[in-house]
Amino acid sequence: MEKRVALELRGRSPSQIKELNLDNCRSTNIVGLTDEYINLEVLSLNNAGLTTLKGFPTLPKLRKLELSDNRISNGLNFLNGCKKLTHLNLSGNKIKDLETLQPLEEFENLKNLDLFNNDVTNIEDYRSKVFALHPSLKYLDGFDKDDVEAEDSDVEEEDEMNGNNDSEEEGSDVDEEDDDLSLSAVYNANLEESSASSVYEGSDVEEEEDDYDDEADEDGENDADKEPNSKAQGGDENEHGIPEESTRGKKRKHEDEDEN
């Protein structure tokens, strides 16, 4: 069994294993399974030749255990470290009396128990006594209290519900990370929008500046056009900056005065 356990690991650590199939690996006792399998939910040990459950590890998340076609006759108390067990298959073993089943009273979540092909099933009022012994049971040997056969879909649905309840707390951390990622995405999107709007506003400013420069250039050209006109109208200037026409007028005036 120990070699089979190592083979099924396939390079993974025991804490990563959620399902483990060890059917037909011949061993009279539990070997190779340890308390390190803290996340193991489904374990199958059908037809393994087990005669005892001594040394069964503590598996806090185990909900389904298959132990059919072995030679187990007692020692169910060694399963007490699997408090979340909901499905237990002990069909084809050597259980003979109800006292052997008493340790299962501690499994408050046990919903499905299979004891088919055990001597205990020959006890008078066996079914009613087992249901009374384990009030949490919904199905015994595949039938409920009213002898209505359980459908596979019902059993699978219960197992999935139990599995989902266990994983809700683990998923909460992932949700928080997703929320953080979504918030960062929104923040980045806002930054991109702000950048885009600033670029657009900047282009408007540049266009306004270009318009202003064009107007200034036009004003400058108009002023330049006006300057020659003003000089032409005023005539040439002498070395003192006074228009020659005005000085000529003054000279004529003085000459007329002298003649008179």
Residue-level pLDDT at 194? 52
Residue 47, domain member (yes or no): yes
Greater model confidence, 60 or 175: 60
pLDDT per residue as tens digits for the range 147-177: 999 886 555 555 555 555 554 444 444 444 4
Residue 98 scores a pLDDT above 90: yes
* pLDDT tens-place string over residues 221-235: 444 444 444 444 444
Q: Are residues 198 and 134 in the same domain?
A: no
Note whether 144 and 20 are same-domain residues: yes
pLDDT given at position 164: 52
Note whether residue 88 is domain-resident.
yes
Residue 62, helix vs strand vs coil: coil
Identify the CATH number of the domain in which residue 144 sits: 3.80.10.10
Q: 117 and 219 share a domain? A: no
Q: Domain residues for 94?
A: 2-150
CA dist list (Å): 153 to 11, 149, 156, 159, 160? 33, 12, 5, 10, 10
Q: Is 166 domain-assigned?
A: no
Considering the domain architecture, whether residues 117 and 222 belong to the same structural domain is answered as: no
Verify that 79 and 199 share a domain, yes or no.
no
Strand order in the sheet with 42-44: 19-21, 42-44, 64-66, 87-89, 112-114, 139-140
Backbone φ and ψ for 178, nearest 5 degrees, come out as -60, -40
What per-residue confidence (pLDDT) applies to 159? 53
Question: In the chain, how many domains are there?
Answer: 2
State the CB neighbour count (10 A cutoff) for residue 152. 8
pLDDT digits (tens, 9 = 90+) for 170-218: 444 444 444 444 444 544 555 555 554 444 444 454 454 455 455 545 4
Residues 8 and 68 in one domain: yes
Measured distance CA(146)–CA(153) in Å, rounded: 18
Written as one letter, the residue type at 197 is S
